[in-house]
Amino acid sequence: MNFLYEYAPTTTLIFFFTFFLYVAYRTYRPSAKKHMQDYAQIPLEEHHYDK
């Protein structure tokens, strides 16, 4: 059990860094440019809700 506690910080660092690289790759690849521009406009869109 001590082995698990000893290497937990290193393991989680590697996991989260890998996850960060994956998200950065998915966001900044050229084919995702249109999707990211659409997502950037969401707060500026007007929604008309029927009441």
pLDDT at 50: 65
pLDDT at 47: 80
The closest alpha carbon to 36, from 47, 46, 25, belongs to 25
Q: Would the pTM of this model clear 0.75, i.e. be above it?
A: no
Say if residues 17 and 24 touch (Cβ distance below 8 Å): no
pLDDT at 51: 60
pLDDT in tens, the chain (51 residues): 788 789 999 999 999 999 999 999 998 998 998 998 998 998 888 887 766
